[in-house]
């Protein structure tokens, strides 16, 4: 009997302390954000101990606490599943959140509602923890909806801005469409396996799992911004940069992928769903990488980069490698959060300038941010032996050597090279060259909060991949032998992307501006997807429903067919036929004629 479960529960429950303190109103004082940040760092350190125990002994735990209710044969209780996935994700998430909290102490320093901001971030973290440690679908759904709600509140943080409100609503709507799939899966599991507990579902191993897995895939499409339900993620950049760093790069958007990873025992038996996942991920990663090529807002480029990496994770699930996808989730969190934090540092220093066409020459002005941006981009593109290499290169190798859809593989390789292209674009436009911002600048990165938080994630970006992949126990065996050209595929396409992008960017120094080509317009306007899908279907729906409800049903069936047509017909025919015109003279005249005639008849009748 060891302290595994107690320490894990302690680590999760200290997170709820600052929320409870709002009852005592201690959240009004100005040191509340520091309290929150400290609590998260304590929770992180506390959660390292059970993780190390897990790594050492492979002990997995399920904590089933409180029996909530039993509905006929369904037993709902509070249960935590502390297995491979949650034990490794919780410290990673807490570490990244700790750094982001410290960063937002600097970034949101001048915001009057900073305590509320930290409370929202903390609530989000708690719901995310509920999601990853859930053992039954009901608890997972609670966490799922919770992160959706907190995402809405945080994206619309500056609610005075119309675009922010629209983006928050967009996020909720797209997530809702995914939730339909989730609820369909829950209903199927309830009917066919009589439970929402993961253990029982996996034990029963139902045969025809197409429908629930489709539902879960739809849920993942909504939450993880796959193609078809993706526009909310770039719009979500309306929120403050810490929100983008936490929610929309490391934590919330991986919830969809996490859900699919949780269900890997069911997915490994269903080839159809695997092919669907593969193709969906391939489309997503290529499409969003294409869209990222011509964006001008630095946060949007990084958002599309996130979307592309999420597509890569979905591709990994599609080739039946859930553990690799999970590894990519963990490593991706580090460098993506750091990229967002660097962009936040640049934005704040240039006085809230987000357009990369108005940045430049920051290489000498902000050395620390430059360093971390370049290292983050290199880690993202999979430079050997940085963090991204351990997961991304493995994914590309496994995809190359597996019996899979060649088109999806080609898309993924092209998207990998495009990753290098847009990373070079960011570095080129934001850091290199001559400054394109206003001369009176407020460039200052000397704040210890900023530097410490980025430094922590920097060390994580460099070493975490090595660290994690050397300490986890082997799960699926990676492909060890392959031809040398396959081994070097990822590296080759990345270097190709780098050189191409550098060459193209250097050309922009010399040529005159020209009209955008069709391809450019396609990429810049996100493939016209939001333009079409946000206008046409609602218009068609509303006009069709108006026509069918009020015109068809009310006007035609209830009014016109019988009542009004009868009355009109009668009136027309009676006017046509009758001779009466309502003139009194005619009536008098006819009376006189009748009188005369009758008198003549009476007198002449013998």
- State in Å, rounded, how far the first CA of the chain is from the last one: 138
How many Å apart are CA 2 and CA 541, to the nearest integer?
Answer: 59
How many Å apart are CA 283 and CA 77, to the nearest integer?
Answer: 39
Q: DSSP for 10-46?
A: HHHHHTTHHHHTTTTTGGGSTTHHHHHHHHHHHHHHH
> Which C-beta is closer to another protein: that of 271 or that of 572?
572
Cβ-in-10-Å burial (0-12, 13-18, 19+) of 535 comes to: exposed
Supply the minimum distance, in Å, between the C-beta of residue 562 and another protein: 22
> b/e string for 294-307 if b means 16 or more Cβ within 10 A?
bbebbbbbbbbbbb
Q: What is the dihedral of CA 556, 558, 564, 570, to 10 degrees?
A: 120
Residues at the site binding another protein, with contacts judged by CB under 8 A: 571, 574-575, 578, 580-585, 588-589, 591-592
> Which C-beta is closer to another protein: that of 515 or that of 581?
581
> Which C-beta is closer to another protein: that of 208 or that of 599?
599
Q: DSSP for 310-353?
A: HHHHHHHHHTT-HHHHHHHHHHHHHHHHHHHHHHHHHHHHTTS-
Residue 249 φ then ψ, to 5°:
-140, -40
> Which C-beta is closer to another protein: that of 558 or that of 589?
589
> Which C-beta is closer to another protein: that of 113 or that of 591?
591
How many Å apart are CA 238 and CA 161, to the nearest integer?
Answer: 9
Supply the minimum distance, in Å, between the C-beta of residue 548 and another protein: 38
How many Å apart are CA 262 and CA 86, to the nearest integer?
Answer: 10
How many Å apart are CA 335 and CA 375, to the nearest integer?
Answer: 8
Residue 80 φ then ψ, to 5°:
-110, 135
Supply the minimum distance, in Å, between the C-beta of residue 561 and another protein: 24
Helix axes 298-318 and 254-262, enclosed angle (nearest 10): 10
User: What tokens appear for 401 in the block?
Assistant: 């050597």
Q: Among candidates 406, 258, 251, 259, which has minimal Cα distance to 319?
A: 406
> Which C-beta is closer to another protein: that of 34 or that of 564?
564
> Which C-beta is closer to another protein: that of 29 or that of 578?
578
> Which C-beta is closer to another protein: that of 3 or that of 592?
592
Q: What single-letter DSSP state applies at residue 136?
A: B
Supply the minimum distance, in Å, between the C-beta of residue 600 and another protein: 14
User: What tokens appear for 373 in the block?
Assistant: 């941006």
User: What tokens appear for 446 in the block?
Assistant: 């000397």
Supply the minimum distance, in Å, between the C-beta of residue 553 and another protein: 33
> Which C-beta is closer to another protein: that of 528 or that of 591?
591
Supply the minimum distance, in Å, between the C-beta of residue 563 and another protein: 19
Give the number of C-alpha atoms closer than 13 A to the C-alpha of residue 390, restricted to the C-beta side. 25
> Which C-beta is closer to another protein: that of 484 or that of 576?
576
> Which C-beta is closer to another protein: that of 518 or that of 578?
578
Supply the minimum distance, in Å, between the C-beta of residue 575 and another protein: 6
CB count in 10 Å sphere of residue 387 = 31
> Which C-beta is closer to another protein: that of 176 or that of 572?
572
Supply the minimum distance, in Å, between the C-beta of residue 173 and another protein: 58
Q: What single-letter DSSP state applies at residue 251?
A: I
The answer to whether the CB of 15 falls within 8 A of the CB of 122 is yes
How many Å apart are CA 202 and CA 198, to the nearest integer?
Answer: 6
Name every residue whose Cβ is closer than 8 Å to that of residue 412 and which is 6 or more positions away in sequence: 281, 282, 285, 286, 312, 315, 396, 399
The answer to whether the CB of 468 falls within 8 A of the CB of 395 is no
**Which residues pair with residue 67 across a beta bridge?**
77
> Which C-beta is closer to another protein: that of 113 or that of 588?
588
Q: What single-letter DSSP state applies at residue 445?
A: -
Q: DSSP for 531-553?
A: HHHTTHHHHHHHHHHHIIIIIII
Q: What single-letter DSSP state applies at residue 516?
A: P
The answer to whether the CB of 198 falls within 8 A of the CB of 233 is no
Supply the minimum distance, in Å, between the C-beta of residue 532 and another protein: 57
Supply the minimum distance, in Å, between the C-beta of residue 598 and another protein: 14
How many Å apart are CA 458 and CA 461, to the nearest integer?
Answer: 5
Supply the minimum distance, in Å, between the C-beta of residue 564 and another protein: 18
> Which C-beta is closer to another protein: that of 480 or that of 584?
584
> Which C-beta is closer to another protein: that of 507 or that of 576?
576
């Amino acid at each position: 009997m060891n302290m595994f479960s107690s320490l894990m529960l302690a680590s999760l429950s200290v997170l709820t302390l600052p929320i409870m303190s709002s009852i005592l109103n201690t959240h009004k004082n100005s040191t509340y954000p520091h309290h929150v940040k400290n609590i998260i760092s304590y929770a992180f350190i506390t959660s390292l101990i059970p993780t190390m125990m897990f790594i050492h002994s492979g002990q997995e735990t399920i904590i089933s606490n409180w029996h909530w209710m039993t509905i006929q044969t369904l037993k709902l209780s509070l249960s935590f599943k502390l297995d491979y996935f949650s034990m490794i994700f919780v410290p990673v998430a807490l570490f990244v959140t700790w750094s982001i909290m410290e960063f937002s102490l600097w970034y949101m320093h001048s915001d009057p509602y900073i305590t509320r901001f930290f409370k929202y971030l903390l609530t989000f973290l708690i719901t995310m923890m509920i999601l990853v440690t859930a053992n039954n679908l009901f608890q997972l759904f609670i966490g799922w909806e919770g992160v959706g709600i907190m995402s809405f509140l945080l994206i619309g943080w500056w609610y005075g801005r119309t675009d922010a409100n629209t983006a928050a609503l967009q996020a909720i709507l797209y997530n809702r469409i995914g939730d339909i799939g989730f609820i369909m899966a829950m209903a199927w599991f309830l009917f066919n396996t009589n439970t929402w507990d993961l253990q029982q579902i996996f034990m029963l191993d139902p045969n025809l799992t197409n429908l629930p897995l489709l539902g879960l895939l739809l849920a993942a499409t909504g939450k993880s911004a796959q193609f078809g339900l993706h526009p909310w993620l770039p719009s979500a950049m309306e929120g403050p940069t810490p929100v983008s760093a936490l929610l929309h790069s490391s934590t919330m958007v991986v919830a969809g992928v996490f859900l699919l990873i949780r269900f890997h025992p069911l997915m490994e038996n269903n080839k159809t769903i695997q092919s669907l996942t593969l193709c969906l991920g391939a489309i997503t990663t290529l499409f969003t990488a294409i869209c990222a090529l011509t964006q001008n807002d630095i946060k949007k480029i990084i958002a599309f980069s996130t979307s592309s990496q999420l597509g890569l994770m979905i591709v990994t699930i599609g080739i039946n490698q859930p553990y690799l996808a999970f590894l990519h989730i963990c490593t991706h969190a580090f460098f993506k959060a750091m990229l967002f934090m660097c962009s936040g540092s640049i934005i704040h220093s240039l006085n809230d300038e987000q357009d990369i066409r108005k940045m430049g020459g920051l290489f000498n002005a902000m050395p620390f941010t430059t360093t971390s941006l370049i290292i983050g981009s290199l880690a993202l593109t999979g430079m050997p032996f940085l963090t991204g290499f351990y997961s991304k290169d493995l994914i590309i190798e496994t995809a190359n050597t597996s019996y899979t859809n060649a088109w999806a593989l080609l898309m993924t390789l092209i998207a990998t090279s495009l990753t290098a292209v847009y990373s070079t674009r960011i570095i080129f436009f934001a850091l290199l060259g001559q400054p394109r911002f206003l001369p009176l600048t407020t460039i200052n990165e000397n704040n210890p909060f900023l530097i410490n938080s980025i430094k922590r994630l920097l060390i994580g970006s460099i070493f975490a991949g090595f660290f994690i992949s050397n300490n986890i126990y082997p799960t699926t065996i990676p492909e060890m032998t392959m031809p040398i050209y396959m081994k070097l595929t990822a590296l080759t396409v990345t270097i190709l992307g780098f050189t191409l992008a550098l060459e193209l960017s250097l050309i922009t120094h010399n040529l005159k501006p020209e009209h955008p080509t069709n391809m450019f317009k396609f990429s810049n306007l996100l493939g016209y997807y939001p333009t079409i899908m946000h206008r046409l279907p609602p218009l068609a729906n509303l006009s069709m429903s108006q026509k069918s409800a009020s015109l068809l049903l009310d006007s035609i069936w209830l009014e016109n067919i019988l009542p009004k047509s009868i009355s009109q017909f009668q009136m027309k025919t009676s006017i046509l036929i009758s001779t009466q015109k309502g003139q009194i003279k005619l009536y008098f005249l006819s009376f006189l004629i009748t009188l005369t005639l009758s008198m003549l008849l009476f007198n002449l009748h013998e």
